[in-house]
Amino acid sequence: MTTYHHGNLRAALIETATELASARGPDGVVLREVARLAGVSHNAAYRHFADREELLAEVAAIGQQRLAAAMRRRLAGVHVTDPAARATARLRETGRAYVLFALDQPGLFRAAFSTAPAPCEDADPYAVLLAALDDLVAVGLLEADHRDAAAVTCWSAVHGFAELHLAGPLQATPRRERTRQLEQLLDTLQGGLIAS
């Protein structure tokens, strides 16, 4: 009962491309192979995307979406009641979640930042970070006009950490050592950002 028209090819292509990206990184998203896996001829994709880049942008959006979701999920697991301690713990967890996602889903993570993502609601890991920093401001641990710069600093640190351990020169670091390094990075960030 396969019709000539696929019915929902666009979505199927994005999903297949996302799987390829997860398995092999952004360069693994090969237009012709995506089409093959979707059971459709090469060039079918051109009815839905201007070029390979546009498909990759869709994958990037999904990557950022999943990253943001993973961060929110982990944040939900923070059970600390004291407001100040809670805000601090949540900031740390934000960074931890970012790095853990990158290490757990290297292909998708790299794809997420290999090109400008397609516009997409709910897809902003940056928003999660800003929210965590806003909590810190709310409990008086961070000056309000330091928030934006703090965001860039935090993001840079965890992003660089992920990049260096993923494809960079720190690739070979054993897992235990890596988590130790991450915790110390979070310590340093916390110490540098939070006045108390």
Q: Segment near DNA (CB under 7 A), from 40-48, 111-119, 173-181, 187-195?
A: 40-48
User: Binder to DNA among 11, 41, 177, 187 (CB under 7 A)?
Assistant: 41
User: Binder to its own copies among 71, 167, 174, 175 (CB under 8 A)?
Assistant: 167
Residue 121 corresponds to which amino acid?
E
If one asks whether residue 37 binds DNA (CB under 7 A), the answer comes out as no
| Smaller CB separation from its own copies, 34 or 189 | 189
If one asks whether residue 51 binds its own copies (CB under 8 A), the answer comes out as no
Among 127, 117, 186, smallest CA distance to 154 is for 186
Tell me, residue by residue from 3 to 32, as one string, x for binding to DNA by CB under 7 A and - for no binding. xxxxx-x-------------------xxxx
Contacts 24+ apart (CB under 8 A), 36-41: 38/6, 38/9, 38/12, 38/13, 40/6, 40/9, 40/13
Among 98, 99, 11, smallest CA distance to 59 is for 11
| Smaller CB separation from its own copies, 113 or 137 | 113
The whole-angstrom separation of Cα 132 and Cα 88 is 8
108 binds, options its own copies, DNA, none, Cβ within 5 to 8 A by partner type: none
If one asks whether residue 44 binds its own copies (CB under 8 A), the answer comes out as no
If one asks whether residue 188 binds its own copies (CB under 8 A), the answer comes out as yes
Q: Write a three-state SS string for 90-130.
A: HHHHHHHHHHHHHHHCHHHHHHHCCCCCCCCCCCCHHHHHH
User: Binder to DNA among 11, 23, 47, 192 (CB under 7 A)?
Assistant: 47
Among 168, 167, 133, 135, smallest CA distance to 147 is for 133
Within 10 A of 18 (CB to CB), how many other CB atoms are there? Answer: 23
4 binds, options DNA, its own copies, none, Cβ within 5 to 8 A by partner type: DNA
- What residue ranges bind its own copies (CB under 8 A)? 113-114, 116, 126, 146, 149-150, 152-153, 155-164, 167-170, 180-181, 184-185, 187-193
